[in-house]
Chains A and B, each alone.
Chain A
């Protein structure tokens, strides 16, 4: 016995979309904290720290997020006897994944700041921590806005793989609705539209933020 895709089914998708948002936010914030640590380690003068951070990024970027998800869900159970529920497993996997990518994006942004800015700060003479805080990171922030937002959009869409281990987010909810309505050509376009509603404003917001910062600093943009 099938049913039509109606208001109740749409509300079910909306409810699941909430979990897509929560998962994306938690992974972004957690990954952001980890990303700062990784970016600083990658740009530090300490060889071992740089090596560890580079190895972490290499592993996380060189393996599919799906494998990372499986490892968090099944691997921990096998290796350490810890059986995580889907929610903590996807949160852990996506946070570690986001930390690697954000760390690499922010490393690039930090390294894009001209060496002369470091020297001018050192000549003042600010301590290395103060150089980062007052001179380097604020400038790196502006450079990092577009790729960071770009990654956040990827992250939001990427959370759809969490459906594989039974976590009910937007994509999984869509699959469930197709199973009961047999109307994939209605359900999936609605799911896609909901992703679009989440992601598109972020890109607009990033552009606006960049323009606002540029205007405040008197920086002329190329047409």
Chain B
């Protein structure tokens, strides 16, 4: 039984169909990298899985439960689905520690001492245990993104969603975030990543999904897809990514 199953989901913004009959299943421990051009529906797909967007048709089943459209039932399920955004979205008025303990204390009702222990633990996982007392504005982009990962991990999710989390970073800061992602993947975390880091996708992902015009255009092991794309669209996309100046 997959941990996550998307069955024929469809999402429209006005008359524009962003996701068109998307089906995908993700097993526990699987790492799925989603690639595709801008506007292909990658980010919307992640937002639908987390319930930040409601779907117009189809179903999303997580851990055998259909994703509720909203309210307390959705919040209950969201505890197990962490999401990290492209622009970090840390809370600037809270210290790193409070950014991380907020979910465990307010949502999970854990005592502060326990939440602080979790904060330290997840910060160690992203090599930032010395930044507990810092505020987001005092950190580099890479550090902020790692704190955002730690904040999501503090909820002990079963599935992690990453939405182009290295896209807003300076090139020299990408490596530190990718390292954390690779470590997470090795630890057995189920992950879906929208990414442009082809090297990472090739090395780490179990499954590569190429989206085009709101559909899952191609899907399979990354090495196979990179070596022998079945469609012209994927071939030209890979070419454009690998040789951007051609």
Q: What is A's interface to B at a CB cutoff of 8 Å?
A: 116-117, 119-127, 130, 134-135, 138-139, 142, 216-220
- Bound CA–CA A110/B135 (angstroms): 21
Using C-beta atoms within 8 Å of the partner chain, give the interface range for chain B: 20 to 34
CB-defined A-B contacts under 8 Å, sample of 12: A119-B89, A120-B91, A123-B50, A123-B78, A123-B82, A123-B152, A124-B106, A124-B107, A125-B103, A126-B106, A134-B102, A220-B137
Task: With CB as the reference atom, state the residue of chain B lying closest to A217.
Answer: B135
User: Is the Cβ of B102 less than 8 Å from the Cβ of A126?
Assistant: yes
B106 A130 Cβ-Cβ under 8 A = yes
In the complex, the chain A residue whose C-beta lies closest to that of B86 is A116
Number of cross-chain contacts by CB at 8 Å: 67
B91–A135 touching, CB < 8 Å: yes
| Chain B neighbourhood of A116, CB < 8 A | 85, 87, 89
Which residues does chain B contribute within 8 Å of A130, judged by CB atoms? 106-107
CA distance A123 to B106 in the complex (A): 13
A219, B103: Cβ atoms closer than 8 Å: no
* In the complex, the 10 A-B pairs of residues with the closest C-beta atoms, listed nearest first: A120-B89, A125-B78, A218-B138, A124-B103, A218-B137, A125-B75, A218-B135, A116-B89, A123-B83, A217-B135
Cβ-based interface call for B232 (8 A):
no
B45 CB to nearest chain A CB (Å) = 15
Q: Which residues of A contact B78 (CB under 8 A)?
A: 122-125
How near does chain A come to B58, taking the closest CB pair, in angstroms?
22
With known contacts A116-B85, A123-B83, A130-B106, A138–B52 Cβ distance under 8 A: no
